[in-house]
Amino acid sequence: MPNRALVIEGHDLRGELLPYFQQTDLDLIGVASLSDARALLPVLKPAITIVDRELRDGDGLDLVREAVNLGARAIVVSERNATADRVEALSLGALEYLGKPADPQEVFLRVRNLLAAPTALADASAIVREFGGVGVDLSTRTLLRPDGSHADDLTETEFAVLRKLAENADQIVSREEMHVVVTGKTSFERVTRAADTCISRLRTKLRSATAAAEIRSVREAGYLFRRNRAGRSAVG
């Protein structure tokens, strides 16, 4: 329903959110388990589903695809905040991923913004999101051309790199930061060329998708993601 939000929570997030949701006409309903959520989802058909990963009967992430397939826009809340966890949730179709403790006002504002934004669907099963001018079908991690057709698929690592760069558009992301995203290792004693190799592959895929963005290497500094206002990729 367009005025309904379902919260699947392992703690009293619903109670914390209620004061903010009372400012709108959005009906907030809370359950505490995967089993209850699975029973209610097809009945309630919420516009927004807020999924807590730490539930008493399993990982709330298992519910994301089901919620998305029923037309809900999913927000995931979790104590697990590693890049791999965020990428997994986004790959399943979640549009937001918040670390715990989640600020109730921030959750509310993200819900409000998602509801205000038009839903961009390439087809009935696709969830499309733009990252700095680059369209990605999150259901398959596929790059989209300007006309909406599918280009190359992204690996989980390539998608994590794209997201990191797009979140820091027009700012230099250091080689050390990108090393962490690509390898998952925080030791900088030996920063390998793994990030360079991954970004080189991503550039090639962006070019094949004629994406409206470019990734520049900044000597002795890192990488710069910039939207290409000409509408075609000038990656190199």
DSSP secondary structure string for all residues of 117-154:
SPP--SSTT--EEEETTEEEETTTTEEE-TTS-EEEEP
Question: Is 61 a residue whose pLDDT tops 80?
Answer: yes
Region 103-110: mean pLDDT is 86
Give the model's pLDDT for residue 71. 81
Q: How far apart are CA 80 and CA 127, in angstroms?
A: 23
**Residues spanned by the domain of 16:** 4-116
Q: How far apart are CA 178 and CA 161, in angstroms?
A: 7
Note whether 17 and 7 are within 8 A (CB). Answer: yes
Residues 69 and 158 in one domain: no
Note whether 34 and 60 are within 8 A (CB). Answer: yes
Q: What are phi and psi of 111, to 5 degrees?
A: -60, -50
pLDDT tier, 127 (very low <50, low <70, confident <90, very high otherwise): low
The two structure tokens encoding residue 89: 């949730």
Question: Is 48 a residue whose pLDDT tops 50?
Answer: yes
Domain boundary among 90, 116, 142: 116
What's the predicted TM-score (pTM) here? 0.52
17-31, 123-137, 182-196, 210-224 — which is least confidently predicted? 123-137
Residues 99 and 143 in one domain: no
Of residues 115 and 188, the one with the higher pLDDT is 115
CATH of the domain at 141: 1.10.10.10
**Does 100 fall in a domain?**
yes
Note whether 222 and 175 are within 8 A (CB). Answer: yes
**Does 59 fall in a domain?**
yes
Which residue in this structure is represented by tokens 């051309």? 145
Residue 51, C-beta contacts closer than 8 angstroms, at least 6 positions apart? 8, 60, 61, 63, 64, 67, 74, 75, 76, 77, 94
Give the model's pLDDT for residue 95. 87
**Does 208 fall in a domain?**
yes
Region 133-142: mean pLDDT is 80
Of residues 10 and 64, the one with the higher pLDDT is 64
Number of domains in the chain: 2
Give the model's pLDDT for residue 235. 35
Residue 27, C-beta contacts closer than 8 angstroms, at least 6 positions apart? 1, 3, 4, 5
**Does 123 fall in a domain?**
no
Q: How far apart are CA 121 and CA 153, in angstroms?
A: 17
Region 45-60: mean pLDDT is 88
Task: Tell me which residue of 123, 121, 146 sits closest to 133, measured CA to CA.
Answer: 146
Q: Which helix (H) or strand (E) holds 201?
A: helix 194-208
**Does 232 fall in a domain?**
no
**Does 187 fall in a domain?**
yes
> Alpha-carbon Rg of the chain, whole angstroms?
19
Domain boundary among 116, 148, 177: 116
**Does 51 fall in a domain?**
yes
Give the model's pLDDT for residue 118. 53
- For 61, the 3-state DSSP assignment is helix
